[in-house]
Chains A and B, each alone.
Chain A
């Protein structure tokens, strides 16, 4: 069984595409071969900057001959039908076999598909794969029409039999004829050479200074870099992403460690690391005692007579030029902050557009600041501190350093806030208010950071909701789902108790004011701003709006609230937007809780309860209910409730009335019935007390305790008694039981 070796040799393949391309080559080739009947024993794919390589072991030399039996028409069928069958099966009439069947004599054909040599199949499939390769970006070159990631220069494709005899697979793609020849390292290789097997190929590549396996290159880089750092009493800052990238930039890694000029060592470590990684693809090397970054590691692609001295000197020079820039930015930023503060740095943000309808970054910050002020007391932060933090948290977007390194946003704000001598809580908020960035990113915990992080995300959400640009399907260009999850995680992780509705209302109104500023009259804007001031008092937008309009009417200054006016639009749209946004957050919460193992029916049962915009309460309720339902008491509660509810619901449907008038103990006929009254009378205050204390488990335990009395009652009496007075009273009693149970959650939504 022969081995197959394929190498596609091209100009430099982008590092980020190599691993995927090697996998694609392997998958497509092996899938195609197996599909054609060629099994193999093992496959391995590799990539270097200039080649994709696939090695298959133990490939079948020919695909198996396939026999297929096909049933045809009856012997006495019309001639046309028989001819058609012969054509379809590709056999002659004398090759047909006649078999006796129940319905008479029937023709059978046996079709034989002879196996094909592996070389033929490989040639056919490889050409298809090359022509349709799934590069993320591909190109044409010269006068050809073939597309590849960069110009493809040669194709090596050989089958090596057990005797070690290699034969070239006959194949040509766009003028490139496959052969058994390749090249080694661009600078250290000795030109083209022929290979006869995978082992021969690897050995000759190594001789010509190419390490084929990217893992081997990465291991070599990592080990050598660690050793060199260790030998200097230092420590390599490991960076997996960079290691993978750098392994894709070299065929023969040569690790070199260099010095960072003393004058740059005072820059923040993150600046050094980011500049070195982003611009130069250098690893950082730190002093383990101080944590300070003191040197760098670069990986060259070539061994030189001077042992890399020229290369290192060049790299050092480039790094110094880069760091001079960084230092220049850092010093300019610090000077600006010392002269004018972060607030001064933020000034230019009024010229920077956040979104063409939602205005500048400055306008956005103003809104966040206003919301932060409202949220501060709820979170336990000092309002002025939170407002100042919101005001300066994004100032670093105007810094030269963040302009150069956008990924340092927030962190630079923190450094500059510290340099200005701002409250450490404000400095922390500059960095932390972006958190959480992903599902596993930490949530801010300091009250000031929490307020600003929450206000920032709520502002983004309400802004896009106010414009009716919600995420749909897979489209979420502004990462609103992530912002939603961020809001949820911040609230839950910090155990925050707040009615989100009110804050959604006021921030949506701020967005509406922004969006309508051009269109509205100044009177209308004034009115809306008055409403904004009132929301805190009324808790919701609607009531605040009415209050303001009434007051203006009283003053004889009634504004136009109909006829397509801005006020009319805001009055009708805002409550719907607020409800819709809350529903979106509830959906996000469901996803979040489902990941935590909370059942969806349990969440639904709790969402139906009042104060569902208090997410902490909601989750507390859901967790208590979920845990309780899993217990024996929970089962009691649920079954007791369901029994009462079923009978009651049926009766209500039949009678077309709702039994909620209150049962009276004086109509109770027997002891079991009276016992239920007694149990309810005793239980109700206990349940109320527990609910008051948000002790949902306690409340449910009391409810579960009602079951024996209720069960005995069902045993002893017939609910649907002949006597209508008794019947109504009993139904009203069930209604009371139902009402009690429903205080903790909408149990009708629980399945099972």
Chain B
């Protein structure tokens, strides 16, 4: 059982405390999106739900993949697969900063001993056509979260504005638990009958994926999949809004957006394989952005996106 006060003892306890905290503050506890993404922002619960006028509040853990960051499990801080904790509240409440600070207290950061700072850091995602203003939050000189007020997503102005929080869970947990190497971090309770470290869970996968990402992934296949995902995304969205079978208005935004996510991750893999030149990079990013924008355009035509028939 996770304790609700005092210092947390494991990686998972920090996640559980964040879950409890944000559930207690009215967020819907979403589950991770079941696709490979580069960051928690890609989850449709953030990207798509930050669009349109309907209120929203969600929190979730999102496994995130950054193939170029793989270090075969050797680097103390860098992983090609890691967890982000993501909170999105629309419209952003006036006490969003205080809510955030409360979440830090919940995971055992004592404001009387630590130095918390909001340092300017504007967020931009060229692949999502999104940007916002905010800060990186420092705890004793270490960045523990990203705090952003979304201004635009998929090329659309956000109205109302969503407040977004992203916690890099491993880094935050290492700091709270006082661990120097991520692989040494207790994953479950150290006193559990079978105590497991982060390394017990992930060292081997880091090695496997690092090798595959950098040297083995078949770039021809990846390239073909990229083209296919791009074509499929556009094809899905080209269908008329009215479903001929049911006669209902069904815009297939999420299936199309899945393809956009796929294309984005395939691009990251191609990048890790070193087959994308600097000039091509921009072009690929532009192609993914074009998909994201089309999905955003379609989403605001749906009920969840605030469309009223």
Contacts and interface: CB of A to CB of B under 8 A. Distances in A.
Contact of A249 (B93, B119, B149, B158): B119
A591 to B, nearest CB: 35
Given A139-B151, A143-B91, A356-B279, A321 B76 contact: yes
Given A142-B92, A249-B119, A321-B76, A315 B132 contact: no
Contacts of B113: 304-306, 310-311
A18 to B, nearest CB: 10
B97 A139 contact: no
A301 B117 contact: yes
A352 interface: yes
Interface residues of A, number: 42
A141 B140 contact: no
A311 B112 contact: no
B215 to A, nearest CB: 18
Given A141-B161, A315-B141, A301 B149 contact: no
Given A141-B149, A142-B93, A11 B118 contact: yes
Contacts of B118: 11-12, 49
A179 to B, nearest CB: 16
A149 B134 CA distance: 9
Nearest to B133: A139
A593 interface: no
Contacts of B133: 137, 139, 149-150
B265 to A, nearest CB: 24
A300 B278 contact: no
Interface residues of B, number: 39
Contact of A280 (B141, B159, B278): B141
Contact of A353 (B111, B175, B277): B277
Interface in A543-592: none
B140 A310 contact: yes
A357 B119 CA distance: 39
Contact of A305 (B112, B122, B135): B112
Interface string B240-274: 00000000000000000000000000000000000
Given A141-B149, A142-B161, A321 B141 contact: no
Contacts of B149: 139-141, 150-151
B75 to A, nearest CB: 9
B160 A142 contact: yes
Given A280-B141, A315-B141, A301 B115 contact: yes
Interface in A128-183: 137, 139-143, 149-151, 153
Contacts of A99: none
Contacts of B122: 137
B94 A151 contact: yes
A314 B139 contact: yes
A139 B117 contact: no
Contact of A310 (B77, B114, B161): B114
A53 interface: no
B227 interface: no
A16 interface: yes
A318 B97 contact: no
Nearest to B77: A321
Contact of B141 (A12, A187, A314): A314
Contacts of B119: 12, 15, 249
Nearest to B160: A143
A319 B94 contact: no
A12 B278 CA distance: 36
Contacts of B76: 321, 324
Contacts of B120: 12, 14-16
B116 interface: yes
A151 B111 CA distance: 23
9 contacts: A16-B120, A139-B151, A140-B149, A151-B94, A151-B149, A302-B116, A314-B140, A315-B142, A321-B76
Q: Which 5 A-B pairs have the closest CB atoms?
A: A314-B140, A14-B120, A12-B118, A315-B141, A300-B115
Interface of B: 76-77, 91-94, 96-97, 111-120, 122, 132-135, 139-142, 149, 151, 158-161, 163, 175, 180, 277-279
Given A140-B161, A142-B92, A301-B115, 11 more contacts: A15-B119, A139-B151, A139-B161, A149-B133, A187-B112, A298-B141, A306-B113, A314-B175, A315-B140, A318-B141, A321-B76
